[in-house]
Structure 1
Amino acid sequence: MSSDELELYDSDIGEEIEEVEKIEFLNREDVELEMKTLISDVESIVEVNAGMCRNLLHKFKWNKEALLNKMYESGDTQQFLIDSQVMAKCDDKVKEAKEGDCDICCSSGVLIGLDCNHMACKECWKMYLKEKIVDNGICEIECMEPDCNLLMEESKIANYTTNSFILAKYRYQSINGYVAASSRLKWCPGNDCGRIVKIPDAETRLIMCKCETRFCFNCCLEFHDPIDCRLMKKWLKKCSDDSETSNWMNTNTKDCPKCSVPIEKNGGCNHMRCTNNKCKHEFCWMCMKAWQYHKENGYKCNRFDESKEKSRSETRALLERWLFYYNRYMNHLQSLQLEEKLKVKVSAKEEELQKNSTMTWVDVQFLSKSVSALSECRRTLMYTYAFAFYLKKNNNSEIFESNQRDLEMATENISGYLERELETKDLKTLRQKVQDLSRYVDQRRKALLDHCEEGVENDFWDFSE
């Protein structure tokens, strides 16, 4: 494949790739450097030590502008620092450790403490820090004295405990607080990844981490266009909720009116016999009364109980609708998983072509690109069924369903072709056909997503709750 052909093929997804390339992947040291820069900026303005500035920034969710505005509004910097829990109220501050009795454990020895003059032995401080940092997951740690809210500075924490695990935990929680406060930072949810993702602007949602985890920046779930984060969470909860099974049981089974064992109706006859060998109660499926009642009082099941039947019909209709979308969602998820085998097959084919023909690594990339396009379409289709489940009918929903149908057909075409035709000897035809199918399926995916995005921008989607 020529470089011109590659450029043409990539043009449809160029914007997506360009957006991904603007994303930064940081480690903890990178984030700590950002934190230190902010601390230094505040330190030069407020003129207090770095530990106090760190606590100030943490309290203001690392928003330097909000912190400084609040300080200037206060008109009294010292009182602002006291109210913000970073400066002690007393003037006579402890400079050194002293000998005495610990008020916590009553032992005698060297006592250490904060600028508020509340002191304790080192062992009590160690236990206190472990409780706060390890057990409670806190990095904003107040003085041990119940009525004192002065915050401990980072240097004090490092001096009062030498436990590397506790200090590492404190470091992580401090970084995590910074990440959580930022609208542009998120931890990658990939297993054992540990990277921190930094987006260029608030519009960026698709993240493709270096660990190959693909996720939505807003909710950290797998990227799920076209459905929004709120409905996606609802859908996943519904999928995991066994209430749907209860609905099915309510529609297709009934409890024996005598022993309450669930009975499934698997034939046309309404004369039921309980399957519980200890019961074997005979009853009417329609009215749930003992079958003997019909013998003695005549058949009365033709008398319609509107409220009960309406409830059962509505339950059945809702369940059937749910299963329609759920089964199609799961079908594409299963296909996506099964097509992992296709990736292996395609990789082997690429190696074979490079070995047995004049084709280079660049020349055979059309195969990998086609599998990537197929996977993208499977994911999109999967989430379109979650989207469609909540979507109310209107003219635009019909356009959506038409786009969905076109994408589904195009996806099955390329999937079928790759499954069947990889062993063909006609390499020219194979390359041309795969390129054509890949371009078309990507165009259909883009058309569907563009229409969904247009609906969001113009507010013509209406969703049921």
Structure 2
Amino acid sequence: MSSDGEDFYYDDADDGFGQDDDIMDDIDSESEPDVFDALSPTIEEAPSKKPYDVSYKVRSPQELLDMQNKEIKKIQTLLEVPSSAAATLLRHYAWNAEKLQEEFWTDSAKSLADSGLSPPGSPSTSIASLPPRSTRQTRSSHQEPFDCPICCDDFPASQFEEKTFALGCGHRFCRGCWQEYLTGKVKGEGESARVQCMESGCNRVVREEAVNELVTSDVSARYHELLNAAFVADSPNLRWCPHPSCEYAIECSQAPPRMLNQLVPTVVCHCGNDMCFGCGYAADHRPVLCKIVKLWEKKCADDSETANWLNAHTKECPKCQSTIEKNGGCNHMTCKKCKGEFCWVCMGPWSEHGTSWYQCNRFDEKSGINARDAQAKSRASLERYLHYFNRWANHEQSAKLDAEFYKKTEKKMEQMQNSGNLSWIEVQFARDAVSVVIKSRILLKWSYCMAF
């Protein structure tokens, strides 16, 4: 949840807000509503939550940015480094401030080098803020033309400061090459926090203020979007809403991996859609656990049931191993590829069956029994899967028609208001009934997955 310590949460141990019981007892009944309003949780949930509900908060992109800036400012003050260096350190350590501080105080030089920053004592890590062009040489200190190592363009000494750029590592290139390189990294490869120097073998990270100075505004905007995405991906308590065109993220600290065997952490985004915080599934899949949902989705998506169907309805020629499907006729099979003749029941050579063209005389032999049993098991497994899958898929298809269901209900509500002299509030029962039906349908859908 929020790291500023200002939010309050329910405490299961004392059934309160974590406040002293004696203090709460001194509050009279008339003042209790005001106290509750002042101390009520800032999380998006009802005060009396159910045992299977989790506490969570929906975060906007600006709130995510504020969370990052708060952590950056804290590390900047503790380690006495520039804000961009603090941001680079935090991103390298996946925003784990405790691990960062421990390793930085143990060996600051190694910590900075591993993060792609300048060593301790250099101008880029020893001042509170960086000037826009702190790493450039002045005209007075550089009197020779510059040849860009990448594009091989020559720049006179008078344009050295204006047309070239170098990081703290000292590797200098022209601004055109820098812009093309950073644009490709950001827009082409989707990189942000770990964009390194163009020099081969150099792991110096291109920090935020350098990117903002070298690229166009649209690339810079995309760069900051990727930084936000990386922040959410690195945090175990944050997850993006998976629904299209939704820009919100969900923060939840009550759904660690060890708890996913006991609960399904369903949350509701500001866009109005449900999602499972545990596995990121874009819907409520209660009562099925996340690991079972993943297995079911994989089984429905891959070719496992295709192979099962082949085992149940086809066999391989015992001579050339060609796959053959029997679509009628007797058990006397002739392979079209190798012209080999065999019995469909026992898979033995047809020459050993004598004149028994329509009946196999080897049913009691071990090989024949095993072949029949294997095929029977495959058919039974396939029929069982299709039984549950068809019912699951029917509810899945019905769920796709919920939007149309809502539209019809809204029209019916308008008709009831116009013809029955009912108020808007009085006809809300219809919408509530539709919501119950949809939730029940979702519950039934996943019950078939659980039964399988």
**Fold similarity call, TM over 0.5:** yes
Which of the numbers 97, 106, 114 marks the counterpart of 2:152? 106
Q: Does 1:287 align with 2:318?
A: no
The residue number in structure 1 matching 2:272 is 212
1:329 to 365, 381, 392: 392
CA deviation string 1:30-89 (max 9, x = no partner): 211221121111112211111111101101111223222222333xx4554344332247
* Mean Cα deviation higher: 224-233 or 200-209: 200-209
Report SS of the residue matched to 2:49.
Answer: helix
Question: What amino acid sits opposite 1:214 in the alignment?
Answer: D
For 2:120 and 2:204, how far apart are their aligned partners in 1? Answer: 9
Distance 1:342 1:169, change over 3 A: closer
TM-score by length of 1: 0.70
Q: Name whichever of 331-340 and 184-193 sits farther off.
A: 331-340
365-374 or 299-308: which moved more? 299-308
Task: Check conservation: 2:53, 2:265, Cα contact below 8 A.
Answer: no
| CA contact 1:90–1:116 (8 Å) conserved in 2 | no
> What amino acid is aligned across from residue 265 of structure 2 in structure 1?
R
Q: Which amino acid aligns with 2:306?
A: T
One-letter code aligned to 1:286? V
Does the CA-based 8 Å contact 2:317-2:323 persist in structure 1? yes
1:86 aligns with 2:117: yes
User: What do residues 85-115 of structure 1 show as CA deviations (whole Å, max 9, x unaligned)?
Assistant: 3224795984436552222333222332011
For residues 360-375 of structure 1, what are the structure 2 equivalents within 5 Å?
360-375=423-438
Alpha-carbon distance in 2 for matches of 1:62, 1:343: 43
How far is 1:295 from its partner? Answer: 4.2
* AA partner of residue 104 (structure 1): I
Structure with more of its chain in helix, by fraction: 1
The share of aligned pairs that are identical, in percent, is: 32
Query: What residue number does 1:433 align with?
Result: none
Q: How does 1:229-308 map to 2 (within 5 A)?
A: 229-254=290-315, 260=322, 262-265=324-327, 269-271=330-332, 284-288=343-347, 294-295=353-354, 300-304=361-365, 305=367, 306-308=369-371
Q: Is the 8 A contact 1:216 1:223 kept in 2?
A: yes
Measure, in 1, the Cα distance between the counterparts of 2:48 and 2:414: 27
- What are the superposed Cα offsets for residues 240-273 of structure 1, whole Å, 9 maximum, x if unpaired? 1232123123212346779947434457x43568
Amino acid at match of 1:42: I
State the Cα RMSD in Å. 3.5
1:286 Cα offset (Å): 1.5
Whether contact under 8 Å (1:143, 1:149) holds in the other structure is yes
Aligned-partner residue type, residue 346 of structure 2: C
**One of 204, 209, 217 as aligned partner of 1:164:** 217
* Structure-2-length-normalised TM-score: 0.71
CA contact (8 A) 1:133 1:170 kept: yes
Aligned to 1:72: 105
- Equivalent-residue separation in structure 1 for 2:371 and 2:310 (angstroms): 16
Distance of 1:169 and 1:102 partners within structure 2: 27
Which residue of the other structure, out of 160, 183, 197, is the alignment partner of 1:130? 183
| Counterpart in the other structure of 2:206 | 152
The gaps in structure 1 that reach 5 residues or longer are 1-11, 390-465
User: For each residue in 1:347-384, what CA deviation from the matched residue of structure 2 results, as whole angstroms up to 9, or x when unmatched?
Assistant: 23222222222432222222211211111111112112
- Tell me whether 50-59 or 116-125 shows the greater mean CA deviation: 116-125
Do the aligned residues in 2 keep the contact of 1:88 with 1:116 (CA within 8 Å)?
A: no
Q: Could you say which residue in structure 1 is the equivalent of 2:445?
A: 382
User: Which amino acid in 2 is paired with 1:300?
Assistant: N
State whether residues 197 and 206 of structure 2, in contact with CA within 8 Å, keep that contact through their aligned partners in structure 1.
yes
Instruction: Tell me, in whole angstroms, the C-alpha distance in 2 between the residues paired with 1:242 and 1:96.
Output: 62
Q: In 2, Cα distance between the equivalents of 1:378 and 1:106?
A: 66
Q: Cα 1:19–1:231, aligned 2, differ >3 Å: closer, same or farther? A: closer
The DSSP-based 3-state class of the residue aligned with 1:104 is coil
Q: For residue 115 of structure 1, give the secondary structure of its aligned residue in structure 2.
A: coil
Q: Take 1:16 and 1:176, find their aligned partners in 2: how far apart are those partners?
A: 31
Counterpart Cα distance in 1 of 2:105 and 2:109: 11
**Residues 88 and 150 in structure 1, CA contact (< 8 A), matched pair in contact too:** no
Contact map agreement 2:255 2:277 (CA 8 A) in 1: no
Secondary structure in structure 2 of the residue aligned to 1:105: coil
CA deviation string 1:191-237 (max 9, x = no partner): 12122223364378212223333211122112211222222111101
Q: Does the C-alpha gap of structure 1 residues 338 and 118 become closer, same or farther in structure 2, counting only changes over 3 Å? A: closer
